[in-house]
Structure 1
Amino acid sequence: MAAQGVYVYGVVRASHPLPPGRTGVGADPAPVRTVRTGELAAVVSDAPPGLRAKRRDLLAHQELALALAADGPVLPMRFGMIAADEESVRDQLTASRTAYLATLDRLDGRVEMNLKALPVQSGLPALVRENPEVARARAAARRSPGYEASVRLGEAVARGLTGRAAAASAAVVAELSAMAVERVAGPEVRGCVLNVSFLLDRGDQERFRAAVERFAAGHHDHVELRLTGPLPCYSFVDPAPGTARRETEPVRNGA
């Protein structure tokens, strides 16, 4: 079946090497290639028909972005960005040349690390000692047991757990920000009190990771920290090119 446009993975400098033997997304993935103009290149493949956000394709997209980032800065596109044709890609590279080159310079030698924080669902005795609202709700539930008292106690505990996790999260963000070049808050994630990405110099990754581990160990009764990375710098680039459209079908079961 004929390709339905050009799938765009990211933008790099024209001299950036292309990882050998890579193929793109889709059930029958096409080889990855570059579309160049001047000092810039877009990494693309033929867009498969009926593209869906399957795990296989999400991983193929992510792994290519990581492979590209290992050899220099890349402006990664989010999954599912499709341009009409190569000429449209060249037009966008030309129109955004100054901004793209400036962003590539800013990201050179840097990586993204993402940190999420979740409340720890334990340590009720400590929470009762620390949180007057929880202490009052537990005392009321003991004096007058019943469904409503239990609900109020549960709600107070949930607020208390979230509050102490949020306080610990604010402290760790303040500590980690001193090591970062930039920081940006991510979208809300269900169950998390924090979702934030940090832009780091590549050489600071291990120091950053060690700081997260130390903080997590010292506050394990208040917050659970989940660190992911290094990642392509999705959170520190502008939105996708205006000539591309995001076109995927809903996620379905299967690979």
Structure 2
Amino acid sequence: MAVYVYAIVGKDHPVRLTGLRGVGEPGAPLRTITTESLRAVVSDTPHAQGHDARNAPVHQEVLTRLMEDGTVLPVCVGRVVPDDAAVRIALENEAEAYRRDLRHVDGCAEYRLQVAQDAEALLRQILEDSYTARKLNDDIRTAAEDPDLPLHLGEMINGEARARHRAFAAGVIEALRPLVRAQASLEPEDDAFFSASFLVPDDRESLFYAAAVSLAQQAGDDFRFRFEGPLPPYSFISRPIADRGA
């Protein structure tokens, strides 16, 4: 029987899981695998169930309960290893890294921020600010015969948009940096140009949120800030447990 892994905690974590069940139908009993200084929260599961989309809410419920009682290193949804021995080996071989991660995220939660900008508004700004771009656009609109003009204009606008978005992202990070313990860049989703995770101490949560709201207000209606958290600190773990296929 394969083993589904939810999280790693310190040996002294109470792991209070009364009333919860693990993934699968019916939900598998939750249990722990313990080494000298660490515990992994797991349940038995067929390997095929690991990446079932229905596991996500069950997985999150386990993590939420664990976070109520102490520091947690979350394992990504769907992580399955062959057996208890594989979990124990990972805990023993990477014990120092896991303990370091536990200290790093202690008293913190992860918050994710994505920012998108209205494309038409961005184009208008660039044309207003750049004489060259505006001249190219006017030439195209007046049926200039040069077939390369649209390409030149597109390259110019794309380059200017990237530069503006890089500067905006740098400003966001700089403004939030004093309130966080760590920051990690993420791949932007959908139409966002900026995506990052922040490791925020619990006692700075309200200040961090207020700062993010202030940034959104300063940016104006052309920008859309998408804010998510508090979350388990997925982005700040240095040694994730490898799955069966790794």
Sort the TM-score into its range (normalised by shorter chain): 0.7 to 0.9
What is residue 61 of structure 1 aligned with on the other side?
A: 59
CA 53–82 in structure 1, closer or farther in 2 if over 3 Å, else same: closer
Q: Alignment partner for residue 5 of structure 2, among 3, 8, 13?
A: 8
Letter of the 1:166 counterpart: R
How many residue pairs get aligned? The number is 243
**Once the 2 structures are TM-superposed, how far is the Cα of residue 44 of structure 1 from its aligned partner?**
0.3
Structure 2 unaligned regions, length at least 5: none
Q: Does 1:22 align with 2:20?
A: yes
What is residue 233 of structure 2 aligned with on the other side?
A: 233
What is residue 206 of structure 2 aligned with on the other side?
A: 206
**Once the 2 structures are TM-superposed, how far is the Cα of residue 159 of structure 1 from its aligned partner?**
5.0
**Once the 2 structures are TM-superposed, how far is the Cα of residue 39 of structure 1 from its aligned partner?**
2.7
Q: 1: distance between equivalents of 2:239 and 2:220?
A: 36
Q: Does 1:215 align with 2:212?
A: no
Bigger drift between 24-33 and 126-135 goes to: 126-135
Please say if residues 98 and 239 of structure 2, whose CA atoms lie closer than 8 Å, have aligned partners that are also in contact: no
Letter of the 1:60 counterpart: V
Q: 2: distance between equivalents of 1:30 and 1:136?
A: 66
**Once the 2 structures are TM-superposed, how far is the Cα of residue 46 of structure 1 from its aligned partner?**
0.8
Letter of the 1:206 counterpart: S
CA 120–150 in structure 1, closer or farther in 2 if over 3 Å, else same: same
Bigger drift between 72-81 and 52-61 goes to: 52-61
Letter of the 2:143 counterpart: S
Q: 1: distance between equivalents of 2:53 and 2:243?
A: 20
- The normalised TM-score by structure 2 is 0.85
Structure 1 unaligned regions, length at least 5: 248-255
Q: 1: distance between equivalents of 2:170 and 2:131?
A: 21
Q: 2: distance between equivalents of 1:55 and 1:119?
A: 31
Please say if residues 7 and 63 of structure 2, whose CA atoms lie closer than 8 Å, have aligned partners that are also in contact: yes
**Once the 2 structures are TM-superposed, how far is the Cα of residue 190 of structure 1 from its aligned partner?**
5.0
Bigger drift between 134-143 and 170-179 goes to: 134-143
Q: 1: distance between equivalents of 2:222 and 2:130?
A: 13
Q: 2: distance between equivalents of 1:221 and 1:246?
A: 46
CA 152–103 in structure 1, closer or farther in 2 if over 3 Å, else same: same
Q: How does 1:100-139 map to 2 (within 5 A)?
A: 100-123=98-121, 124-139=123-138
**Once the 2 structures are TM-superposed, how far is the Cα of residue 74 of structure 1 from its aligned partner?**
0.9
Letter of the 1:43 counterpart: V
Letter of the 2:116 counterpart: L
Q: Does 1:144 align with 2:143?
A: yes
**Once the 2 structures are TM-superposed, how far is the Cα of residue 167 of structure 1 from its aligned partner?**
2.3
Bigger drift between 51-60 and 170-179 goes to: 51-60
Q: 2: distance between equivalents of 1:33 and 1:162?
A: 49
Please say if residues 18 and 33 of structure 1, whose CA atoms lie closer than 8 Å, have aligned partners that are also in contact: no
How many percent identity over aligned positions? 30
Q: 2: distance between equivalents of 1:26 and 1:213?
A: 39
Bigger drift between 151-160 and 105-114 goes to: 151-160
Please say if residues 81 and 243 of structure 2, whose CA atoms lie closer than 8 Å, have aligned partners that are also in contact: yes
Please say if residues 35 and 41 of structure 1, whose CA atoms lie closer than 8 Å, have aligned partners that are also in contact: yes
